[in-house]
Amino acid sequence: MSDAKNEVKQRIDSIESSYEFFLAYAAQGRTTDEGAKSGAELREFLTKLEDALEGLADTVAEAVSDQEPRDAWDEMTSVVRR
What whole-number distance in Å separates Cα of residue 12 and Cα of residue 39? 23
pLDDT digits (tens, 9 = 90+) for 15-73: 999 999 999 988 988 777 776 677 788 899 999 999 999 999 999 999 999 989 999 99
pLDDT digits (tens, 9 = 90+) for 1-24: 689 999 999 999 999 999 999 999
Cβ count near 46 (within 10 Å): 13
Predicted pLDDT of residue 28: 85
Angle CA 31–34–37, to nearest 5: 105
Tell if the pTM clears 0.85, that is, is over it: no
DSSP 3: H
Beta-carbon-side half-sphere exposure of residue 41 (alpha carbons within 13 Å)? 13
